[in-house]
Amino acid sequence: MRRYNILISGGGTGGHIYPAIAIANEIKLRYPDANFLFVGAKDKMEMEKVPQAGYKIKGLWISGIQRKITFSNLMFPIKFISSLIKASSIIRQFQPDIAIGTGGFASGPTLIMASRNGVPTLIQEQNSFPGITNKLLSKRAHKICVAYNNLERFFSSDKIVKTGNPVRQDLLNIYTKVEEAKQFFKLDKTKKTVLVLGGSLGARKINQLIESNLEFFKKQEVQVIWQCGKFYIDDYKKYSDLKHIQVHQFINRMDLAYAAADFVISRSGASSVSELCIVGKPVIFIPSPNVAEDHQTKNAKAIADNHGAILLPEKEIDTFPIVFETLLKDKGKQENLSENIKELALPSATTNIVNEIEKLLNK
């Protein structure tokens, strides 16, 4: 069997990194002798997370463009040219058989130079509304794996394959872990549990919302597993002293967190949405309005339009107590949301994506 060289680029957030690692893991199962090299952005979380997963990574000096005039924006052309040169050098040395992009700053220069050097490229677009990087890369990409319908507006229809987004495989059987989960988090089995997720770094508005509703949750006899994020743990860890609240910087056992939850309050990044479709719990999405192309709102709307979740914009966040209490008391609504969001799940996404990668390798 031929020993393939697999180049993967994606990062900046967990939503780009974890799909990239899931794809690498699936390729490794099929081709144990394959060589892997990741390309990320220096100083971003992929430089830590990818080696932890057992893969080599090289960093580019690249960052995104801010919405306001900053020194970083003025440096962008220099960083971009530097990254193109570095990516070209990496490709010449590594000689990849395929280049895979899962989004993030580094994937642009990497896939541009891969395609210029005749390397087959595959893009994994996680959102319902693509960012500018993937729109540009799509012109040269051989295949584009997507998670939503109607992306023909942005990409050539003959390149699109609807695969879904890779998710953690340990989420596929969470309903067998409910008892283990309640013990793990030391929960009161007589009370409902809400899981609050704002991403690995944290979401300021969601954290403020939970802080302002601590007494509300107590009155509703609801206990809270609250992932407040790396940036906010020092501000909110004191609330773990309350009997019905536990605050976490990061949750390593997400399978047990989902298993323990009766309800989920979450941002609507692509990976979170894909996981929550598989988990099938009633969800209130509070999208971040501060991301490129407002794609979190579009992701959440795609689910809410199919009656699979409640979409609560940040500008309406003050209505949360009414929205949550109404859901808490309406068993039929809970069941409908769960059933509808599960119908949108694509649990075989990683397998489907690697099937497409294999086709390009075999060509």
pLDDT, tens digit, 9 for 90 and up, residues 230-287: 889 999 999 999 999 999 998 989 999 999 999 999 999 998 999 999 999 999 999 9
Determine whether the annotation assigns residue 6 to a binding site: no
**pLDDT level of residue 76 (50, 70, 90 thresholds):** confident
Sole residue written with tokens 């075999």: 362
pLDDT value for 217: 98
Sole residue written with tokens 């010449």: 92
Q: Do domains 5-166+347-362 and 170-342 have the same CATH topology?
A: yes
Encode pLDDT of 162-194 as tens digits: 999 998 888 989 999 999 999 999 999 999 999
Rounded distance between C-alpha atoms, residue 149 and residue 169, angstroms: 23
Sole residue written with tokens 């957030």: 13
Tell me which amino acid residue 136 is.
L
Rg over alpha carbons for the chain, rounded to the nearest Å, is 21
Determine whether the annotation assigns residue 13 to a binding site: yes
Sorted by where each begins, the domain ranges of the chain are 5-166+347-362, 170-342
Rounded distance between C-alpha atoms, residue 137 and residue 134, angstroms: 5
Determine whether the annotation assigns residue 240 to a binding site: no
pLDDT value for 246: 97
Determine whether the annotation assigns residue 124 to a binding site: no
Rounded distance between C-alpha atoms, residue 137 and residue 26, angstroms: 24
Encode pLDDT of 291-341 as tens digits: 877 889 999 999 999 999 999 999 999 999 999 999 999 999 999 999 999
Determine whether the annotation assigns residue 156 to a binding site: no
Sole residue written with tokens 């210029």: 116
Which helix (H) or strand (E) element contains residue 109?
A: helix 107-116
Determine whether the annotation assigns residue 15 to a binding site: yes
Q: Which of 357, 363, 358 is nearest to 145 (CA)?
A: 357
DSSP 288: -
CA atoms lying within 13 Å on the CB side of residue 28: 14
CB distance 274 to 247 below 8 Å:
no
Mean residue pLDDT across the chain: 93
pLDDT value for 66: 56
Determine whether the annotation assigns residue 229 to a binding site: no
pLDDT value for 363: 83
| CA-CA-CA-CA dihedral for 14, 172, 284, 11, to nearest 10 | 10
**pLDDT level of residue 71 (50, 70, 90 thresholds):** low
Rounded distance between C-alpha atoms, residue 340 and residue 149, angstroms: 16
**pLDDT level of residue 69 (50, 70, 90 thresholds):** low
Please give the sequence-ordered ranges of beta strands (E in DSSP) within 147-239, or none if there are none. 160-162, 192-197, 222-227
Q: What is the CATH number of domain 5-166+347-362?
A: 3.40.50.2000
Q: Name the class of domain 170-342.
A: alpha beta
CB distance 357 to 100 below 8 Å:
yes
pLDDT value for 22: 93
Buried b (16+ CB within 10 A) or exposed e, 214-246: eeebeebebbbbbbbbebbbeebeebeeeebbb
> Degrees (nearest 5) of the Cα angle 122, 128, 136?
45
Share of the chain above pLDDT 90, in %: 80
pLDDT value for 230: 85
pLDDT value for 67: 54
Determine whether the annotation assigns residue 296 to a binding site: yes
